[in-house]
Structure 1
Amino acid sequence: MTTSDVSARVAWPADAGSIAAIQLRSWAVRYGDRLPALLDERGIDEPALAEAWRQTLARPPEARRRALVALAHDRVVAFALTGPATDPDADPSADGEVAEFTVAPDETGGGHGSRLLQACVDTLRVDGFARAVCWVDASDDTLRGFLTGAGWGPDGASRELADDAGDESVKQVRLHTALTD
């Protein structure tokens, strides 16, 4: 019997440390020199972030909210969050959301994102959603290009998220795809 070297599955509490490490490495790429100050002002370090993930994974807020991971052998290399869409214009019974989609910066291009995205779509379908949405930073050409290459497209919605102090903001666009044939 052979086993797969790559896969995607629902995240387990034991994956919390790996998810936290991937999240921090991704933030380092996204925020660069600003990351240490952002982490300090929020009191975030890797052990605290891992513990928060462990608690969330052990007790998800509701049945249709899931964390998924992509694996290379037995290593977590990417993670995503799925659940009902929370936008004011969303129908939570029909609109699902990929609320987070992160591939470890040193693991991109290996097919992990494609497997993880398919797992997200399959999970949202099984949960009865007819459409999926994902908010993407307007400056994240890589993720936006990946999603549009997979058949997702902009639906015209955009938003601007400000940090706690209101000093900086991130512009985002919403992409969507149909989950039904």
Structure 2
Amino acid sequence: MADAAVRTANSDDVPDIARIHRETWRTAYRHLLPEEVLAGLGDTTQAWAEAVADGQVFVATEGSFLVGFCVAGRAPEAEVARADGTLPADAATTALLSVLVEPRWGRRGHGGRLLATAAQALRDNGNTRGIAWIPEADKASGGFYGKAGWESDGTVRTLDAGGRPLREIRVSGGLTLLLEA
């Protein structure tokens, strides 16, 4: 494997981040989302430019290729609330993360490096716990977070995915992560 690294994203990375977001969803979620939803994924470049400017995005590289990213920041109260709407005691120190690695670059440790790097940065900013929302049927993402010691906390939400319900589970775990060799 060529040199692999994780770093904070910069403005030059935005087009690749938007491309990876779009193409990974079209590949990884083709069995979960209607074709018209995936085909209609719009240009997210501006949204990613704002997230990158806020310093909330990390990118994974292999050699000269940008192969994945992780967006991580303080979780909004609506994302961390329990099913009954109440907030846990650690709501103010809970972070929301999302990791995406292009499928063709998968199973090479990029996701783990992204998650570990983001977790370190979040800990440095006073966060104590992380959460992520994943499609319930997405066994690959469930396995990925499971290897990091994260598990479902029992909270579920259902999104409207082009007229088809998409059930997501919230996984949660600590931010002290060790990379597997």
Look up the SS of the partner of 1:128 in the other structure: coil
Match of 2:30 in 1: 31
Counterpart check, 1:49 vs 2:44 = yes
Counterpart check, 1:76 vs 2:66 = yes
Q: Is the 8 A contact 2:93 2:127 kept in 1?
A: yes
Match of 1:174 in 2: 170
Pairing partner for 1:17 from 7, 11, 15: 15
Partners of 1:71 and 1:28 in 2: how far apart? Answer: 21
Partners of 1:141 and 1:39 in 2: how far apart? Answer: 19
1:137-176 correspondence to structure 2 within 5 Å? 137-163=135-161, 167-176=163-172
Partners of 1:34 and 1:135 in 2: how far apart? Answer: 19
Q: CA deviation at 1:180?
A: 6.0
Look up the SS of the partner of 2:149 in the other structure: coil
Look up the SS of the partner of 1:158 in the other structure: strand
Q: CA deviation at 1:74?
A: 2.5
Partners of 1:56 and 1:94 in 2: how far apart? Answer: 19
Partners of 1:135 and 1:12 in 2: how far apart? Answer: 25
Partners of 1:8 and 1:126 in 2: how far apart? Answer: 17
Give the alignment's Cα RMSD to 1 decimal. 2.4
Look up the SS of the partner of 2:44 in the other structure: helix
Look up the SS of the partner of 1:109 in the other structure: coil
Q: Deviations over 1:80-124 (max 9, x none)?
A: 1111112233554211111x2100011001111111111121111
Equivalent position amino acid for 1:161 in 2: L
Q: 1:158 to 1:125 in 2, by over 3 A?
A: same
Partners of 1:171 and 1:12 in 2: how far apart? Answer: 33
Percentage of identical aligned residues: 27
Q: 1:77 to 1:127 in 2, by over 3 A?
A: same
Q: Is the 8 A contact 2:120 2:176 kept in 1?
A: no
Q: What 5-or-longer segments of structure 2 have no aligned partner?
A: 82-86
Q: How many residues matched?
A: 165
Equivalent position amino acid for 2:45 in 1: A
Match of 1:93 in 2: 92
Q: What 5-or-longer segments of structure 1 have no aligned partner?
A: none
